[in-house]
Amino acid sequence: MDNQIVKKSRTDKQCAVTGTDAHYQALVASAAAAILVIDESGVIIDANPYTRTLLGYDHRQLVGNNVECLMPPEHEGKHQHYLMQYLTGGEAKVIGTGRRVKARHVDGHLVPVHLAVSEVQIDSRREFIGIMSDLSALTQAQASVKHERNQLKTIINAIANPVFVRELGGRYTMANHACVQAVGVDSVEALADAFAQLLPKGGRETLNALDHQLTMNGEPVHTDVTLNDGRTFKLAKTLIHYLEGEPYAIVTVAYDATPLLNAMKDAERANQAKSDFLSAMSHELRTPLNCVLGYAQLLMNATSPALEATQQQYVAQIHQSGRHLLALINDVLDLAKIEAGKISLNPSWAPLRPMICEAIDSLLPLARRQTVSLRHTLPDTLNGDIYVDATRFKQVLINLISNAIKYNHAGGRVTVSTRQQAETITIAVTDTGIGIEQDKLSALFEPFNRLAAEQTHIEGAGVGLAVTQQLIAQMQGEITVSSEVGKGSCFAVTFPYRGQSLTEIASSSTPFTLTQPHRVLFIEPDVAQQRLMADWFEDWPLLTLTCVHDLSLAAAMAHTTPPSLFMVSHAVLDDTADQVQSRLGERPMIVVNVPDTESMQSHSDSIVTLASPVSGAALGRAMQTLLEDRA
Ligand code: ADP
């Protein structure tokens, strides 16, 4: 750069203050801004090297030319006017102030610059120094910020969910279209009043408290709010921070959950109606069916006059079909009860080993009929308690083991094993049966879906696994399935477990040995309990079990064919045990499933009470005592 600029733009005083010519030269030559000197008529006298970098002109292309050559076409011819305006004391547009303008590059395109012009008095002459700083990068950055802001605004307005921003001081600063529409206002300024109208009493305070909590710990907040007009919104609130990290506002994204909640209520009502219908139907079917079964059993056992052989066959057929139908109805009833939330489970710690052994024992006859081997591989050390509802857990085991037997081949195997983890235990029922295709596994627990088993001769209704899964879920357990077609399946259930049993289990292995046949009449309204009992009795060949629902049918049956022993569920006792016993005909009696044996005192030595959950062994010992030891 040329000395001229320095020379012409300084005064002696300035020079004395800021340094030498050499300093100025270096400063002007190395400045990252275009510096031009022009005279009063606008002719360029000098330009520094950066002018070329910024605008592409050679030194000689500029010097001697009017500064107008650097102006955008629309300003051409106006420079003289601006200058004159300034010189005559008029408004200074650039001189002494500085502003954003566009400068013309030698190739014609316009470069955004900041132009600062200062006036220099040299003798009687006035000259002007123009300093142009490149604003291309800044302009580009500003354009891209503007573009992004515009894009963000479009996106936020396109969101169907209401979105709004509220500063920590309480002022609403942004609301998208969906928000103003949902609230019924036409601008963000009207939001505060509209919310005050819509929020129920105390609603504002609750939301303020949540906002405060969010500001304190920064954790996004999720909450529901039901407005005075009945609509329910789900709100997700997040803190917005300045770049430096300070929070300054809260953005809330709302979701109108009203249609979904209404649909859910409708679905729940429909589901409830279905469950009520199923439950009522099942009940209506079960009661007469139990009568049919009860009287069929009476007929089968009738001795005077005894039935002929063919009649015996017919009655046996009625009884078998009735039992099958009853099992089906019971499953449907269970499912309906579970779905209606009407099933109450009482989980407690109970010894695991006896429950598995009893389930296996009860299914040995079925396994024998199907020529399938059924065994367990329980370690001797398995003497802990599992946390389940004992009755329902046995129902689960029986469902899984009976499926493993049913969906098996002649000569196949079913194995029950356990795998103990730190605080849980997994009980696996593994079979060598037909297996299940991978793509059907997901439908396994759907009610009434038999996965094409309905095309086989294997009996079933497709409800067992649905019930099993629901019961497991209600007992906070887990079920997993793995299977391979043609090789077999493994159903594994996991529950809490503690290694050392607190219950005395040694006695449960005490065998009981009956020497004569006996008839037992079981009065129990709960079909699941009836089923369990029937399963146990399958393994006690000398005992015949008849189940009835209520005391009056039991009394009628006892009148015609008196049983050797009554088993009465605590649930049907409408009187003291002694009085019920005398109504039924003074036979030995066992009261089962007593919630607390202490509360159940009897004066008769022919009455035994067993606390819930009843184990097969305890029941066996009680029957042994009442039927043979005492006799
Ligand atoms: P059901 O046995 O009465 O049909 P479930 O609900 O117990 O009903 O079982 C549903 C279906 O799952 C069965 O119909 C059968 O196709 C299949 N399934 C269940 N257990 C097994 C198993 N161990 N091996 C192969 N298939 C099975």
Whether residue 504 is predicted with pLDDT greater than 50 in this model: the reply is: no
Spell out the SS3 assignment of 120-156. EEECCEEEEEEEEEECHHHHHHHHHHHHHHHHHHHHH
**Cα 127 from chain centre:** 78
CB 163 within 8 A of CB 251: yes
Taking the centre of ligand 1 as the mean of its atom positions, its distance from the CA of residue 451, in whole angstroms, is 7
Q: Give the C-alpha separation, 468 to 410, whole Å.
A: 25
Confidence of residue 511 (pLDDT cuts 50, 70, 90): low
d(CA 64, CA 208): 70
Please state, for a pLDDT cut of 90, what percent of the chain lies above it: 46
Choice between 278 and 601, residue whose per-residue pLDDT is larger: 278
Nearest protein Cα to ligand 1, atom 4: 462
- Residues 391-403: what's their mean pLDDT? 94
pLDDT given at position 333: 81
How far does residue 541's CA lie from ligand 1's centre (Å)?
A: 29
Q: Which of 12-16, 324-328, 386-390 has the lowest mean pLDDT?
A: 12-16
User: Is 388 in a helix, a strand, or coil?
Assistant: strand
The structure tokens 């079917």 sit at 285
pLDDT above 70: residue 449: yes
Nearest CA to ligand 1 atom 13: 450
Beta carbons within 10 angstroms of residue 99's beta carbon: 11
**Given the CA of residue 466, which atom of ligand 1 is nearest to it?**
6
Per-residue model confidence (pLDDT) at position 302 = 79
Report residue 89's pLDDT band, with 50, 70 and 90 as the boundaries: low
What average pLDDT score do residues 330-340 get? Answer: 81
Count the alpha carbons within 13 Å of 406 in the hemisphere toward its beta carbon: 17
Comparing C-alpha atoms, which of 616, 613, 614, 618 is closest to residue 388?
613
- Among 5-9, 50-54, 539-543, name the one with the lowest average pLDDT: 5-9
Q: Write down the pLDDT at residue 95.
A: 64
| Cα 465 to ligand 1 centre (Å) | 7
The residue among 88 and 380 whose pLDDT is bigger is 380
**Residue closest to 166 by CA, chosen among 124, 103, 105, 211:** 211
Query: Is 91 in a helix, a strand, or coil?
Result: coil
Ligand 1 center to 323 CA (angstroms): 19
H helices present in 40-166, as ranges: 50-55, 59-62, 79-87, 136-158
Residue to probe by mutation, ligand 1, list 450, 457, 468, 472, most atoms within 8 Å of CB: 450
Note the pLDDT tens digit of each residue in 112-145. 999 888 888 888 888 889 999 999 999 999 999 9
Least confident of 98-107, 112-121, 517-526, 589-598: 589-598
Percentages of the chain per state (helix, strand, coil), in multiples of 5: 45, 25, 30
Q: For position 505, what pLDDT does the model report?
A: 37
Q: Output the pLDDT for position 4.
A: 52
Atom of ligand 1 nearest to the CA of 491: 23
Tokens representing 88? 């005559």
The per-residue pLDDT for 233 is: 95
User: Residue with the nearest Cα to atom 25 of ligand 1?
Assistant: 435
- Look at 105-109, 119-123, 242-246, 504-508 and tell me which has the smallest mean pLDDT: 504-508
Question: Residues 295-308: what's their mean pLDDT?
Answer: 83
Contact 561, 519 (CB under 8 A): yes
Residue 619 near residue 627, CB atoms below 8 Å: no
What's the 403 CA to ligand 1 centre distance in angstroms? Answer: 6
Q: How many CB atoms lie within 10 A of CB 485?
A: 12
- Tokens for 606? 């022919």
β-bridge mates for residue 414, sequence order = 374, 431
Which pLDDT does position 458 carry in this prediction? 87
Compute the mean pLDDT over every residue in the chain, rounded to the nearest whole number. Answer: 86
Q: Are strands 221-226 and 163-167 parallel, antiparallel or unpaired?
A: unpaired
Ligand 1 atom at minimal distance to the Cα of residue 433:
24
Tokens of 435: 């297996």
- Percent share of the chain, pLDDT over 70: 90
For a pocket test of ligand 1, which of 413, 429, 444 has the largest count of ligand atoms closer than 8 A to its C-beta? 444
Residues 198, 146: Cα–Cα separation, whole Å: 35
Mean pLDDT on 154-162? 94
How far away, in angstroms, is 613 Cα from ligand 1 center?
28
pTM for this one? 0.46
| Rounded Cα–Cα distance for residues 462 and 485 (Å) | 19
Min mean pLDDT across 405-419, 482-496, 575-589 is at 575-589
Confidence band for 417, pLDDT divided at 50, 70 and 90? very high
Question: Which residues have any ligand 1 atom within 6 Å of their CB?
Answer: 403-404, 407, 431, 433-436, 444, 450-451, 453, 460-466, 489
Ligand 1 mutation pick, 372, 407, 429, 440, max ligand atoms within 8 A of CB: 407
Q: For residue 304, give Cα distances in angstroms to 300, 309, 312, 521.
A: 11, 14, 14, 20
Q: Ligand 1 centroid to 458 CA: how many Å?
A: 10
The Å distance, Cα 82 to ligand 1 centre, comes to 95
CA of 452 to the centre of ligand 1 (A): 10
Do residues 23 and 3 touch, judged by C-beta distance below 8 A? no
Ligand 1 centroid distance, CA of 391 (Å): 21
| pLDDT for position 503 | 41
**What local confidence, expressed as pLDDT, does residue 148 receive?**
95
CA 474, CA 504: separation in Å to the nearest integer?
Answer: 27
Query: Looking at this protein, which amino acid is placed at residue 471?
Result: L
In angstroms, the first-to-last Cα distance of the chain is 131
pLDDT at 3: 47
Q: Could you tell which of 398, 403, 416 is best to mutate to test the pocket of ligand 1, judged by most ligand atoms within 8 Å of the CB?
A: 403
- DSSP SS3 for 230: coil
Q: Report residue 10's pLDDT band, with 50, 70 and 90 as the boundaries.
A: very low
pLDDT at 509: 46
Residues in the chain: 631
- Distance CA(502)–CA(584), nearest Å, equals 37
Q: Whose CA is nearest to atom 19 of ligand 1?
A: 403
pLDDT of the residue at 456: 85
513 or 584, greater pLDDT: 584
Position in ligand 1 atom list of the atom nearest CA 399: 7
Stretch among 179-193, 375-389, 550-564, 592-606 having the lowest mean pLDDT: 592-606
- 155: CA distance to ligand 1 center in Å? 51
- Cα 359 to averaged position of ligand 1 atoms, centre (Å): 18
DSSP 8-state assignment for residue 308? P
Question: Comparing 110 with 628, which gets the higher pLDDT?
Answer: 110
